């Protein structure tokens, strides 16, 4: 049997797995439900239980701020996901490439490697690929030549801003602002403006339906929550202005960081970025009119990916499928989890 090869994009909210010659084989929430010390549910099924679960069922998100915060449960998750991919049959020796953020510590980066090395998987070669590099490849951008490319990946917990050239990262910055922070701000604003408690799932729905980076939208939806004073279930109409009030400060934090990277970009690369513009990926790239706001504030063309959530895992697929990109991933020396 031919050696199987997998690319793993381990995000705060989702985990995506690409298998060589098969394409995307898994796209689920990075969530695990534990009951009495045993796995109760994983992935999308576990996420559906979130904010509805009784006390005896704990809902866990093992990745926080782009790094693995709960190694033991992440190992349980990866084992179960790989069994699901393989139909619960024995998994033969396989190679893995894992996407990691750039601006994290070596210990945090090594945790991604150790996740596979200490799982039940029969791992052959385990390699690491920087997320911005995979991101660019997934967009179909040529980063192997001496041409500068700027990427902004707005993820669940963090935004990673990078300038790439010659197959490497020239500049990068990890900003602690992402989709979850926007959701939290929506919850806070609705509590302040409407005396209503809402859950994170409702906040995410509101963001998806009403969020706009500029104040030209005039939309509204009705939502349900718990009234702050009476404690009773209440229906309230939320407008796009409520959402703009909640998220605009965070969007400008991202823009300020983009400007900071642009100010540090070598002059020789500035013309490349002016020509190619800024490429926006990640789940929150779907915020309406985000390209208009960034273009206005930077005077640069802004490109929003058609499938912004999938660019990293598609880039891992490019590394797996095309020999010309094999050098864009690297190997770490193995260590035990206790070292």
What pLDDT does 218 receive? 82
Number of Cβ within 10 Å of residue 337's Cβ equals 13
- Residue 122: per-residue pLDDT: 87
Considering the entire predicted model, what is its pTM? Answer: 0.93
pLDDT tens string 67-125: 999 999 999 999 999 999 988 777 778 999 999 999 888 899 999 999 999 999 888 99
* 3-class DSSP state of 47: helix
Residue the block writes with tokens 């504030």: 297
* Residues β-bridged to residue 27: 16
Residues 6+ apart with CB under 8 A from 90: none
**β-strands 302-304, 278-281: how paired?**
parallel
- Nearest CA to 328 out of 211, 178, 164 is that of 164
118: Cα within 13 Å, side-chain hemisphere = 19
pLDDT for 3 equals 83
Q: How far apart are CA 92 and CA 167, in angstroms?
A: 32
pLDDT at residue 71 in the model: 94
- Name all domains of the chain by residue range, CATH numbers in brackets: 4-134+312-331 (3.30.420.40), 142-304 (3.30.420.40)
Q: Can you read off the two tokens belonging to residue 225?
A: 């929550």
What percent of the chain is predicted at pLDDT more than 90? 87
User: Considering only CA atoms, which of 95, 102, 104, 101 is closest in space to residue 127?
Assistant: 95
Q: CA 252, CA 258: separation in Å to the nearest integer? A: 10
- 37 torsion bin: left (phi>0), alpha (psi -120 to 50), beta (else): left
Tens-binned pLDDT, residue by residue, of the chain (339 aa): 468 999 999 999 999 999 999 999 999 999 999 999 999 999 999 999 999 999 999 999 999 988 999 999 999 999 999 999 988 777 778 999 999 999 888 899 999 999 999 999 888 999 999 999 999 999 999 999 999 999 999 999 999 999 999 999 999 999 999 999 999 999 999 999 999 999 999 999 999 999 999 987 789 999 999 999 999 999 999 999 999 999 999 999 999 999 999 999 999 899 999 999 999 999 999 999 999 999 999 999 999 988 999 999 999 999 999 999 999 999 876 554 444
Give the pLDDT confidence score for residue 78 in this predicted structure. 96
CA distances from 281 to 107, 150, 221, 305 (A): 26, 11, 27, 6
Q: How far apart are CA 179 and CA 156, in angstroms?
A: 4
| In the block, residue with structure tokens 């992935």 | 43
């Amino acid at each position: 049997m031919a050696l199987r090869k997998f690319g793993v994009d381990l995000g705060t909210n989702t985990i995506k797995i690409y298998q060589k010659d098969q394409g995307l084989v898994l796209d689920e929430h990075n969530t695990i439900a534990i009951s009495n010390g045993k796995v109760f549910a994983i992935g999308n099924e576990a996420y559906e239980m979130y904010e509805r679960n009784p006390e005896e069922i704990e809902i866990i998100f093992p990745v926080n701020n782009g790094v693995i915060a709960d190694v033991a449960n992440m190992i349980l998750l990866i084992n179960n996901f790989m069994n699901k991919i393989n139909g619960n049959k024995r998994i033969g020796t396989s190679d893995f490439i894992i996407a990691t953020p750039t601006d994290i510590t070596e210990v945090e980066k090594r945790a991604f490697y150790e996740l596979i090395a200490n799982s039940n998987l029969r791992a052959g070669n385990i390699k690491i690929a920087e997320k911005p590099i995979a991101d660019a490849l997934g967009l179909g951008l040529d980063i192997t030549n001496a041409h500068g490319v700027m990427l902004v990946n707005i993820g669940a917990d963090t935004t990673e801003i990078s300038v790439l050239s010659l197959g490497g990262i020239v500049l990068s910055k990890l900003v602690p602002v992402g989709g979850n922070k926007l959701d939290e701000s929506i919850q806070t604003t609705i509590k302040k403006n409407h005396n209503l408690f809402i859950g994170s799932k409702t906040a995410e729905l509101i963001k998806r339906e009403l969020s706009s980076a500029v104040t030209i939208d005039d939309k509204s939806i009705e939502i349900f929550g718990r009234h702050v004073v009476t404690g009773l279930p209440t229906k309230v109409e939320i407008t796009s202005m409520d959402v703009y009030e909640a998220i605009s400060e965070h969007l400008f934090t991202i823009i300020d960081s983009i400007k900071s990277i642009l100010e540090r970009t070598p002059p020789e690369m500035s013309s490349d970025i002016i020509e190619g513009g800024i490429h926006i990926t990640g789940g929150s790239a779907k915020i309406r009119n985000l390209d208009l706001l960034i273009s206005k504030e930077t005077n640069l063309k802004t490109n929003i990916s058609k499938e912004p959530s999938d660019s990293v895992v598609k880039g891992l697929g490019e590394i797996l499928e095309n020999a010309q990109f094999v050098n864009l991933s690297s190997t770490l020396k193995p260590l035990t989890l206790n070292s």
